[in-house]
Amino acid sequence: MKKGLIKKVVACALLGIMTMGFVGCGAADNKTTDGNKGEGKDLLNTIQEKGKVVVGMSADYAPYEFHYIDENGKDVIGGFDVDIANEIADALGVDLVIQEMDFDALVAALPAGKVDLVISGMNPTEERAKVVDFSEIYYNSQHGILVRAEDVDKYKTFADLEGVKVGAQLGSTQEQIARSEIPNADLQLLNNVNNLILELKAGKVDAIIMEKPVAEMAIKSNPELAVGNPIYEDKTGGNAVGMAKNNPELLAKINEVIKELNESGKMDEYIVKANELAGSADIVE
């Protein structure tokens, strides 16, 4: 990623979030990231008043968001989700703060006021939409499997994975795909995709369900792996930006940004650039 796109990004570690992303969340009360309630104020106004937007990400998912070493030898977060977050911050006239956390903690972080937005390759499923609101779709994806190269012709369908150890990111759409598409799935769930890849290389899992672009990125730095044949078309509507419920002004503003990025062609440019960066950069695992 160019320096100009990351100069406002502050990567932070979020500690102490242990709740699952789909449970324990009531209706949003517009609680902000400074711990105060918005008292009926749309979160857009609060974000602009504090001069920053806090975006939750799980930065282990190239080309969406991932750690890499930049030209100055610094560990930074790049990917097209970061580009989108920067565009939103610019449109709001505020700085971007990236709050990094496990994927399964992201949804719960919104009504809890830990983050203002979630931009992390997240599908707007019905279950998640009970807890948070979602923007318009910014990217439609396909899901596939990552396997060891010698097994690439072994699994022709998801049903062929019956009885083998299948990895997926905890709390992800891929976990749900594995449960619905693989008979008697022997699931091995971890928070971090990079750790799943290590498990695959070590022979501790036989396949990983993941988004196809992410799997394709993984084999560029792991030539002993390959993308298998089964493809699952996304039925959940692609990827969207998540936010606490009942913030129509913020939702409308973000939808404006997404529409402009798609109509101008910048979204496609960001996706291509992120794929190139993930394929050539020194990714930190």
Of the pLDDT bands very low, low, confident and very high (cuts 50, 70, 90), residue 24 is: very low
What is residue 84's predicted lDDT score, i.e. its pLDDT?
A: 98
- Give the residues across from 99 on adjacent strands: 12, 56
Computed over its alpha carbons, how large is the radius of gyration of the chain?
18
Tell me the pLDDT tens digit for each residue of 113-137. Answer: 999 999 999 999 999 999 999 999 9
Mean pLDDT to the nearest integer, 276-283: 77
209, 145 Cβ separation under 8 angstroms = yes
Of the pLDDT bands very low, low, confident and very high (cuts 50, 70, 90), residue 39 is: low
Tokens of 109: 């972080």
- Does residue 218 register a pLDDT over 60? yes
Q: What are the respective helix, strand and coil percentages of the chain, to the nearest 5?
A: 35, 25, 40
Q: What are the distances in angstroms from CA 156 to CA 66, 196, 211?
A: 30, 21, 17
- Does residue 102 register a pLDDT over 80? yes
- Does residue 60 register a pLDDT over 50? yes
Of the pLDDT bands very low, low, confident and very high (cuts 50, 70, 90), residue 236 is: low
Domains plus CATH for the chain? 3-139+237-283 (3.40.190.10), 142-233 (3.40.190.10)
End-to-end CA, the chain? 17
Side-chain half-sphere exposure of 46, counting CA atoms within 13 A: 22
What is residue 8's predicted lDDT score, i.e. its pLDDT?
A: 39
Q: How far apart are CA 69 and CA 149, in angstroms?
A: 28
- Give me the chain's average pLDDT, please: 85
pTM above 0.85, yes or no: no
- H or E, element range at 274: helix 266-280
Of the pLDDT bands very low, low, confident and very high (cuts 50, 70, 90), residue 216 is: confident
Give the whole-number percent of the chain exceeding pLDDT 90. 63
Tell me the pLDDT tens digit for each residue of 26-38. Answer: 334 455 565 544 5
